[in-house]
Structure 1
Amino acid sequence: MTTKPNPGKTDTGAVREAHRFDEGALVSYLTATLPGFRGPAAIKQFKGGQSNPTFLIDTPDRRYVLRKKPPGTLLPSAHAIEREYKVMAGLKSAGFPVATPHLLCEDTSIIGTAFYVMDFVEGRIFWDPALPGLSPDERAGIFDAMNDTLARLHTVDWRAAGLADYGKPDNYIGRQIDRWTRQYQAARTEPMPAMDRLIEWLPANRPPGDETAIAHGDFRIDNMIFHPTEPRVLAVLDWELSTLGHPLADLAYNCMIWHLPTGQKALTGLGGLDLAALGLPTEDAYVAAYARRTGRAGIDNWRFYMAFGLFRIAAIAEGVRARALQGNASSADADAVGGMAPLLAELGWQQARLA
Structure 2
Amino acid sequence: MTPNRAHPDDAFINAVRTRFPVEAEVDHVLTRKLRRRSGPGYTPITLESLCTSAAGMIRSNIGSDFTMDRPRWLQGGASKLQFAFDLTWTPARADAPITTAMVLRMEPPEAIVETSRRREFEMLQAMGKVVPVPPTYWVDAEAEHLPYPGMIYGFATGISMPKARPDAPRMQTLFPPELRAPLAEQFVSHLARIHTADPGPLLYFEPATPGTNDALVRQVQWWRRVWEEDRPEETPLIDVAARWLIDNAPLLDHVSVVHGDYRAGNFLFDEEKHCITAILDWELAVLGDRHQDLTWSTGTAVSRVAEDGTSILASGLLPVDEFLDRYSAASGLSVDPVRLRYFRIFNDFMSTVHMLATAPRVASYGKTHQDVVVAWSAIIGNTLAAKLRDSLEELA
Please confirm whether the aligned pair reaches a TM-score higher than 0.5, indicating the same fold: yes
Larger Rg over CA atoms: 2
Deviation track 1:14-53 (CA, whole Å, cap 9, x = no partner) reads: xx84455543232354356458841244231x33233332
Aligned 1:1-355 pairs, distance under 5 A? 17-20=43-46, 21-30=49-58, 33-34=61-62, 37-44=66-73, 46-58=74-86, 61-71=99-109, 78-92=114-128, 94-106=129-141, 108-126=143-161, 127-128=169-170, 130-132=172-174, 134-159=175-200, 162-163=201-202, 166-170=205-209, 171-192=214-235, 194-256=237-299, 259-260=300-301, 269-270=303-304, 274=309, 276=311, 280-301=317-338, 302-317=340-355, 318-331=357-370, 332-355=372-395
Unaligned 5+ runs, structure 2: 1-41, 89-98, 162-168
Deviation at 1:180, TM superposition (A): 0.6
One-letter amino acid of the counterpart of residue 293, structure 1: A
Partner Cα separation in structure 2 for residue 319 and residue 227 of structure 1: 34
- In 1, the alpha carbon distance for the partners of 2:245 and 2:62 equals 46
Counterpart amino acid of 1:108? A
RMSD of aligned Cα (Å): 3.1
Distance verdict in 2 for CA 1:328–1:277, change over 3 Å: closer
Shift of 1:118: 0.7
Q: Aligned residue for 1:13?
A: none
The alignment partner of 1:123 has SS state of coil
For 2:384, give the aligned amino acid. L
Letter in 2 for 1:51: S
* SS of equivalent residue, structure 1 residue 235: strand
Q: Distance in 1 between matches of 2:321 and 2:304?
A: 14
**Letter matched to residue 138 of structure 1:** L
Partner SS for 2:333: coil
Cα pair 2:173 2:264 within 8 Å, conserved: no
Unaligned runs of 5+ in 1: 1-15, 261-267
Measure the CA separation in 2 of the matches of 1:66 and 1:248.
31
Q: In 2, are the aligned partners of 1:19 and 1:71 still within 8 Å (CA)?
A: no
Cα distance, 1:65 vs. partner?
A: 0.8
Q: Indicate conservation of the 8 Å contact 2:312/2:320, yes or no.
A: no
CA contact (8 A) 1:148 1:290 kept: yes
Q: Secondary structure at the match of 1:221?
A: coil
Over 3 Å counting, the alpha-carbon distance change for 1:280 and 1:238 in structure 2 is: closer
User: Is contact 1:197-1:349 (8 Å) kept?
Assistant: no
The 2-side partners of 1:281 and 1:352 are apart by 28
Farther off after superposition, 138-147 or 167-176: 138-147
Shift of 1:183: 0.7
Q: Match of 1:342, SS?
A: helix
1:142-186 C-alpha deviation (Å, 9 max, x unpaired) = 333222221111011123xx3376222132221111111111221
The residue identity in structure 2 corresponding to 1:288 is: D
In 2, the alpha carbon distance for the partners of 1:195 and 1:203 equals 12
Instruction: Supply the AA of the counterpart residue of 1:116.
Output: M
The answer as to whether partners of 1:215 and 1:245 remain within 8 angstroms in 2 is yes
Q: How far apart, CA to CA, are the structure 2 residues paired with 1:131 and 1:307? A: 23
Give the whole-Å Cα distance in 1 for the aligned partners of 2:226 and 2:84.
30
Three-state SS of the structure 2 residue aligned to 1:43 is strand
Contact conserved, 2:130 with 2:197, CA < 8 A, in 1? no
Given residue 64 of structure 1, which amino acid in structure 2 is its aligned partner? Answer: M
- Describe the superposition over 1:226-273 as per-residue Cα deviations: whole angstroms up to 9, x where unpaired: 2342343221111111121111112212222xx23xxxxxxx642697
**For the structure 1 residues 48 and 196, does the alpha-carbon distance in structure 2 shift closer, same or farther, using more than 3 Å as the test?**
farther
Q: In structure 1, give the amino acid aligned to 2:330.
A: R
Q: CA 1:255–1:195 in structure 2 vs 1: closer, same or farther (change >3 Å)?
A: farther
